[in-house]
Amino acid sequence: MTRLFLINSVQDEGCAARLRADLTAQGYVVNAGAEQAGAAAAWQAALRESRAVVLVWSTAAAQEAGVAAQVQRAQWLHKRLVLLALDATNPLDSLAQVPAITAAPDCASVVAQLVAHLPPAGDAALLSDLLGQAPGDVEPATRGGPAHDESRHIIGVRCAQGHVTYYDKRVVCRADGMVPRAVVLRDGKQIDQLRLRCTTGGCDEITVVEVDCEGYR
């Protein structure tokens, strides 16, 4: 199932609840309101697993720090964004190129317009269905990928468009390499968040993946 992440202010939760119900009826999986408003780890995980993000924009949203934080994170992850404008409040400068739809405050009868800008509800990739992985997760090398004796060095990454690219950790993990990254700690272990560009022709998707680069830096 295609996962979506909904960003909205507390004041606009009525609209968000309507959107969740309507998008769920279309076959999407949408993060729960409590998940969106909860601890950072919870909403960041839900955002990371999503295929696209719907931003409910309004005067209230523009004034809420939590909304700004989630928008910034979504853009850092290069998520597909769609803006749903409930009033004439100007969006953030960073959202100037994001598709925008105008909606009534109750968000009724807008889902058809939203769906036109979203990945298909049934567009979950095969490996995601089989392995329970979200787009951007690291996959083991599989048939059609590199030879088995090299597989311990290889990761397969599926971009938001469903393309799988195989990367050699001996190349992408190098500290002196050209791959942009951030470093985080997971249970005391250093993990690299690599920003990997899809190599499929015509696709410029950048996917952020967490990779254990120990021994390759």
Q: Examine the domain organization and report whether 88 and 51 are in the same domain.
A: yes
Residue 163 domain flag: yes
Give the residue numbers spanning the domain of 76.
3-115
159 or 84, which is more confident?
Answer: 84
Query: Do 13 and 65 have their domain in common?
Result: yes
Residue 71 has what pLDDT?
92
Judged against a pLDDT cut of 50, whether residue 136 lies above it is answered with no
pLDDT at residue 55 is higher than 90: yes
Question: What are the tens digits of pLDDT across the range 160-203?
Answer: 888 888 888 888 888 776 788 888 887 788 888 888 888 777 77
pLDDT band at residue 12 under the 50/70/90 scheme: very high
Residue 217 lies in a domain: no
Assigned domain for 121 exists: no
Q: How confident is the model at residue 53 (pLDDT cuts 50, 70, 90)?
A: very high
Both 66 and 9 in one domain: the answer is yes
155 within 8 A of 166, measured Cβ to Cβ: yes
The strand order across the sheet containing 138-139 reads 138-139, 154-158, 164-168
* Tokens 């799988």, located at residue: 164
**Measured torsion, CA atoms of residues 57, 60, 61, 62, in degrees rounded to the nearest 10:** 100
Q: Please check whether residues 111 and 184 belong to one and the same domain.
A: no
What pLDDT is stored for residue 22 in this prediction? 92
Which pLDDT tens digit goes with each residue over 60-90? 999 998 899 999 988 888 888 999 999 999 9
70 lies in the same domain as 147: no
Given a cut of 50, whether residue 135 has pLDDT beyond it is no
Give residues with Cβ within 8 angstroms of 204, minimum separation 6: 197, 198
Same domain, 141 and 94: no
Indicate which CATH number applies to the domain containing 88: 3.40.50.450
Domain boundary among 115, 141, 162: 115
Name the nearest CA neighbour of 83 among 70, 67, 100, 61.
100
Q: Look at the chain and report how many structural domains it folds into.
A: 2
Q: What are phi and psi of 88, to 5 degrees?
A: -90, 15
pLDDT at 146: 45
Residue 9 pLDDT > 60: yes
pLDDT band at 37 (very low <50, low <70, confident <90, very high): low
Tell me if 120 is assigned to some domain.
no
Chain centre to alpha carbon of residue 62: 21
Q: Give the pLDDT confidence of 92-105 residue by residue, as tens digits.
A: 888 888 889 999 88
Residues 108 and 134 in one domain: no
CA angle, corner 63, sides to 59 and 68, nearest 5? 110
Of the pLDDT bands very low, low, confident and very high (cuts 50, 70, 90), residue 139 is: very low
